[in-house]
């Protein structure tokens, strides 16, 4: 097979260029490391394309991804100041979503997660961003807070050219189905196993 | 097991804090996507820690990681201008390494790769960077251009707290041995299989 040739040429009446610029759903799952890290690496690429990046962190955590947030928000500020790259928005569930009026008012994580997903739905409908990172979004689906079938249906029907990256373990089958690029990260070796804890800069 | 407890507490006479700040070798391998992307995501984290980041791309490619390079170099410039984050250096083998005097003079990839590794060795000895990304470094080892045993020995003996991330398929057994964190990325689904080619922003 010549280099750059795909194994199958689809008979869908579209040109290679049309097929090349398809919106994709990327799913990074598995028990290993690198699921979120790879998602934020993808955000780096998108930024330098001038894309609008929206990050949505769906799980409250003592280890927020402070490093990635600082770096991506710095890139967002650079865009605002110089026009380089694209804009970046970073929203997290912890103390209430940034757009919510009821910030930190209660501890109903299920309602918070659903509220986050509803906002993502609104943004997808409005084509607000070019790339969405839904970080650890598999968990609220696994816990029954957000409906996996509904998520898959929304993603499948989203308008325009909006890319969506979802991270987390044990994805709902409907997510695996709707994903265009799905990678399973498998832990081969990790220092946690031999008694070393996580460290700043490497783990978060 | 209480949350945050490691399965084994090493009897090595060191405190948890000493163990926490150990230098690590991270190896992202496997046939799936996200190997390099996760490495550059890690560089994001390191940057916001104020670490000096050194990226070394070991394989000439039509698809240089332009997006990541632009974004990380923008962060490096931000550091130079404002002191935010850390410095970033990006070196690639393509038209000769940036420190080399013989840029693009010949097409001896084997010699270029070895020259790159020698420079990394010098920098490790001098503790030049806090985080090294050796992108696609498994390949010149597989091709016999750089000695895998020597790489592992150099990494095992490196001074100070220098983190090294290596990406690429089919790592030499000595690399797997020396790695502290090893993740295998497995391709579950990719649009290439059904006839869609790569696209800017997602694939590079």
The distance of B109 to chain A (nearest Cα, Å) reads 20
B69 pLDDT tier (thresholds 50, 70, 90): very high
pLDDT tens-digit readout, B12-60:
665 555 555 689 999 999 988 889 999 999 999 999 999 999 999 998 7
Distance CA B47, CA B41 (A): 10
pTM (global) more than 0.95: no
CATH fold for the domain made of B27-185 = Rossmann fold (3.40.50)
- Written as six digits, the tokens of B102 are 């013989």
Which of B75, B94, B96 is closest to B85 using CA atoms? B75
B9 pLDDT tier (thresholds 50, 70, 90): low
pLDDT of A50 strictly over 90: yes
pLDDT tens-digit readout, B113-133:
999 999 999 999 999 999 999
Cβ separation A191–B24 shorter than 8 A = yes
Please state the domain extents for chain B.
27-185
Q: Contacts of residue A40 in chain B, CB cutoff 8 Å?
A: 41, 44
- Over residues A69-89, mean pLDDT: 95
Distance CA B39, CA B101 (A): 28
How many H helices and E strands in chain B? 7, 6
**Chain B residue closest in CA terms to A79:** B74
Distance CA A92, CA A57 (A): 5
**Chain A residue closest in CA terms to B46:** A201
Distance CA B96, CA B91 (A): 9
Residue from A63, A162, A180, A185 whose CB has the most chain B CBs within 10 Å, to mutate: A185
A149 pLDDT tier (thresholds 50, 70, 90): very high
Q: What secondary structure does DSSP assign to A136-164, as a single string?
A: TTHHHHHTTSS-HHHHHHHHHT--SS-EE
Candidate from A69-73, A164-168, A187-191, B89-93 with smallest mean pLDDT: A187-191
Distance CA B25, CA B167 (A): 11
């Amino acid at each position: 097979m010549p280099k750059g040739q795909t194994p199958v040429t689809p008979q869908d009446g579209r040109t290679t260029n049309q097929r090349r610029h398809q919106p994709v759903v990327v799913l990074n799952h598995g028990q290993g490391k690198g699921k979120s890290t790879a998602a934020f690496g993808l955000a780096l690429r998108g930024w330098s394309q001038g894309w609008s990046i929206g990050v949505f962190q769906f799980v409250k955590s003592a280890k927020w991804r402070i490093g990635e947030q600082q770096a991506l928000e710095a890139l967002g500020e650079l865009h605002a100041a110089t026009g380089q790259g694209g804009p970046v928005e970073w929203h997290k569930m912890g103390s209430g979503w940034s757009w919510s009026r009821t910030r930190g008012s209660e501890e109903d994580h299920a309602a918070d997660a659903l509220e986050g997903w509803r906002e993502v739905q609104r943004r997808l409908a409005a084509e607000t961003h070019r790339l969405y990172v839904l970080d650890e979004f598999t968990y609220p689906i696994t816990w029954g807070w957000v409906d996996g079938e509904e998520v898959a249906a929304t993603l499948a029907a989203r308008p325009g050219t909006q890319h969506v990256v979802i991270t987390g373990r044990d994805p709902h089958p409907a997510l695996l189905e709707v994903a265009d690029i799905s990678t399973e990260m498998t832990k081969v070796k990790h220092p946690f196993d031999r008694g070393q804890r996580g460290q700043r800069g490497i783990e978060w």
